[in-house]
């Protein structure tokens, strides 16, 4: 029967029999660290043997790690791709070795048949949600916006920019006056915000900050305070991720809104792999995670307490 045939093709491996290689980007943000923690926890609770490789932000390290996973004959590979392009060769090698690849949290510009599925949010939508919040909040008043972009060439940096710009289009009161990468880190977020503040009349000409992640926003909040301005009031702050620290900033009135990104990408990825290994069930090409908006009205300290411990 078809079931027996599939069992022969894929073996009768349950999740517990699986060895999975995970090529992680690094630990640039609180969100990324939580994703790593949860992936390890999820693997352990399912009895999966996880081989973890930290690429320290370098695509070449990710490619090396994937090649080493292929050579070791792992059952599956998880990869959080640091940038969107340049994956065709190594993904083809995994495909030729019949090792399914699952993309985590970022997308790639490669043919869909080179990976089993992608567990990601709708990255354009996230930018859109942040932009709509700002449009509604300023309600027609003139507003100069500065933007801290994520890692250059990464799908969240490209798509979150696009979605935000879409939300602003047609609202001529809102203008993005500066936009630069802050590499998704706190340190760089602070540094670049300092240069934005200097360039824009000590910050007096800035009405809002849009940061592609919370960590850069947290760094920028510090810079705004050091410049003698009030983040959250003098300069509105909207970002993405919903890490615990941004809820503390929100409770203090220093951040205004964030769009939630779950750090538990591995749960759905392992579910899909277990079903695929068991009887060949092919998951949808995209397993989409939710993007919920939080503002100061959402009892930030309560959310902070809830988030703590969930990988953070
Ligand atoms: O790809 C997801 C993004 O990467 C998160 O928003 C950011 O914090 C991380 O570094």
Convert the pLDDT of each residue in 37-52 to its tens digit: 999 999 999 999 999 9
Mean pLDDT score of the chain = 95
Which pLDDT belongs to residue 13? 44
Please tell me the distance from the alpha carbon of residue 165 to that of residue 162, in angstroms, as a whole number: 5
Q: How sure is the predictor about 17, in pLDDT bands with cuts at 50, 70 and 90?
A: confident
| pLDDT at position 275 over 70 | yes
Please tell me the distance from the alpha carbon of residue 89 to that of residue 291, in angstroms, as a whole number: 32
Q: Which atom of ligand 1 is nearest to the CA of 212?
A: 6
Average pLDDT score over residue span 222-246:
98
Average pLDDT score over residue span 7-31:
77
Output the CA 184–ligand 1 centroid distance in Å. Answer: 7
* Residue 184 near ligand 1, beta carbon < 6 Å: yes
Q: How far is CA 10 from CA 4, 34, 70, 94, 211, in A?
A: 10, 32, 17, 16, 44
Output the CA 65–ligand 1 centroid distance in Å. Answer: 20
Average pLDDT score over residue span 277-296:
97
Output the CA 48–ligand 1 centroid distance in Å. Answer: 25
Convert the pLDDT of each residue in 201-214 to its tens digit: 999 999 999 999 99
Q: How many residues does the chain have?
A: 312
Please tell me the distance from the alpha carbon of residue 262 to that of residue 268, in angstroms, as a whole number: 11
Give one DSSP letter per residue of 19-69, joined into a string: EEEEEE----SHHHHHHHHHHHHHHHHHT-EEEEEE-TT-HHHHHHHHHHH
Stretch (H or E) spanning 259: strand 257-260
Q: Which atom of ligand 1 is nearest to the CA of 241?
A: 6
Q: Which atom of ligand 1 is nearest to the CA of 156?
A: 1
Output the CA 213–ligand 1 centroid distance in Å. Answer: 6
pTM of the model: 0.94
The answer to whether the CB of 225 falls within 8 A of the CB of 231 is yes
Convert the pLDDT of each residue in 129-175 to its tens digit: 999 999 999 999 999 999 999 999 999 999 999 999 999 999 999 99
User: If you search the block for the tokens 């090698």, which residue do you land on?
Assistant: 93
Among 122, 148, 145, 132, smallest CA distance to 236 is for 145
């Amino acid at each position: 029967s078809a079931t027996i045939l599939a069992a022969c093709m894929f073996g009768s491996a349950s999740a517990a029999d699986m060895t999975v290689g995970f090529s992680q980007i690094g630990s640039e943000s609180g969100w990324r660290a939580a994703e790593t923690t949860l992936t390890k926890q999820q693997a352990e609770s399912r009895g999966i043997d996880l081989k973890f490789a930290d690429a320290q932000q370098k695509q070449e390290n990710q490619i090396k790690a994937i090649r080493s996973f292929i050579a070791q004959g792992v059952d599956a590979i998880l990869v959080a791709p640091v940038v969107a392009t340049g994956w065709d060769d190594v993904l083809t090698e995994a495909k030729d070795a019949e090792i399914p690849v699952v993309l985590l949290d970022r997308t790639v510009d490669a043919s869909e048949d080179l990976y089993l599925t992608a567990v990601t949010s709708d990255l354009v939508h996230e930018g859109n949600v942040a932009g709509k919040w700002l449009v509604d909040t300023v309600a027609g008043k003139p507003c100069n916006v500065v933007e801290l972009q994520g890692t250059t060439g990464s799908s969240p940096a490209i798509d979150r920019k696009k979605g935000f710009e879409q939300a602003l289009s047609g609202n001529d009161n809102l203008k993005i006056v500066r936009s630069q990468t802050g590499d998704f880190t706190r340190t760089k977020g602070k540094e670049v915000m300092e240069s934005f503040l200097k360039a824009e009349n000590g910050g007096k000409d800035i009405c809002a900050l849009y940061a592609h992640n919370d960590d850069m926003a947290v760094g920028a909040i510090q810079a705004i305070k050091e410049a003698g301005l009030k983040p959250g009031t003098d300069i509105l702050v909207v970002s993405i991720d919903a890490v615990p620290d941004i809820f503390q900033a929100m409770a203090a009135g220093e951040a205004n809104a964030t769009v939630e990104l779950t750090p538990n990408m591995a749960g759905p990825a392992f579910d899909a792999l277990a079903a695929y290994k068991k009887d060949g069930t092919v998951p949808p090409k995209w397993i989409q995670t939710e993007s919920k908006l939080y503002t100061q009205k959402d009892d930030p300290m309560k959310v902070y307490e809830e988030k703590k411990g969930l990988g953070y």
